[in-house]
Amino acid sequence: MTSIGIIANPASGKDIRRLIAHGSVFDNQEKVSIVRRVMLGLESVGVEKVIFMPDYFGIGRRAVEGIQTQLAVETLPIKMEASQEDSTLAARLMREAGVGAIVTLGGDGTNRAVAKEIGDVPLMPISTGTNNVFPQMIEGTVVGLAAGIVARRLLPLEQTTTRQLRLEVWRGEELIDIALVDVVVNVEAFIGSRAVWDMSKVREVVLTRASPSNIGLSSIGGGLYCARLDRKHGVYLRLNEGHGPLELTAPIAPGLVETMHIADYRLLPVGAQVPVQFTPSILALDGEREVVVEQEQAVVVRLTENGPLLIDLHRTLELAAQKGLMVKTELPPLAEGACLLHALGLCSDPQEDCR
């Protein structure tokens, strides 16, 4: 029985950046509607079972109540803590249950929590958070189609997924935590509000991704390296408060554009590690302050290829169309790279290369 896990974070899209910036609030009822559309997409490509993470709003339960479906539905028997640990535990239990893929509704922080325990289960993230760099704002119906095709292994994983980079925080030989997008060094005495929004306290940033079109700290790296990074490099930035050889303006939150003073920046190859230079400090991981670094404590941030397998939605559906997976008519055998229209005799120009 092909199954899919769905982890919907009811708290995503509701942090302090709604107060200090202009981020939109993502309503939980809309998350219910998205999950319904995901389920209908899954069912249409032959997925048989959906496993939900429980949550205080009941997103999964409400989604099932609103549609007619033949999907078997299960809710994980876990005690909710209303924290990111719920998502991490749910990912582990879904992996152990043998799901073919996991769909998430949340932001960078939600996907970071899931990535800790997802292993090699393919991940399809839908953006419902704030500074979203890792998940995409995409329609739930096509998410269901793509995730279902991948879960059923109708196409090879090497053609439909890509291994993501991740940042690992190490204290000696101990792996403390991970991030999928950025690790930020804040010179603050306590964690307080977890979201990063006061750039005057930021001294170092390590990125797996950098694009000037992103919202969040990865846009700083994007302003320095205009092209999107390849999958073999990250970026290191060191910032100064009030002065520096280079000034750069970037959108660090919705409606919040800041000018930063850059003291140093460089590309990082996979395997590189950066020591945290400023102590004591607090490390923010994918936008949330998590790790306290004590005075003169030796902590390093390492760029690795140990991130999750991310489903390429557009590539998956393009390949599915080329292979005729969405066509119900019985097809003649297709050679590798052959055109479906030619095979069916529907192409007006038999010489035209419509692949």
Outline where the chain has alpha helix (H).
17-20, 28-44, 59-65, 84-97, 108-115, 140-151, 157-160, 218-224, 313-322, 340-344
pLDDT tens digits for range 268-277: 999 999 999 9
The pLDDT of residue 215 is: 85
Highest mean pLDDT among 299-308, 320-329, 345-354: 299-308
C-alpha closest to that of 311 among 303, 299, 302, 320? 320
pLDDT in tens, 313-345: 999 999 999 998 887 766 666 666 666 666 666
Please report, rounded to a whole number, the percentage of residues in the chain having pLDDT higher than 90.
Answer: 64
CA distances from 219 to 50, 66, 130, 329 (A): 36, 39, 14, 47
Whether the per-residue pLDDT at 96 is higher than 50: the answer is yes
Q: Where are the domains of the chain?
A: 3-163+312-322, 166-304
| C-alpha 187, offset from chain centre | 27
- Rounded to two decimals, the pTM is 0.87
More confident of the two residues 155 and 245: 155
Q: Which option is the CATH number for 3-163+312-322: 3.40.190.10, 3.40.50.2300, 3.40.50.300, 3.40.50.1980? A: 3.40.50.2300
pLDDT at 189: 64
Give the mean pLDDT of 2-25.
71
What amino acid occupies position 352? E
Would you state the CATH architecture of domain 166-304? Answer: Sandwich (2.60)
As a whole number, the mean pLDDT across the chain is: 88
109: DSSP letter: H
Closest CA to 5 of 77, 107, 73: 73
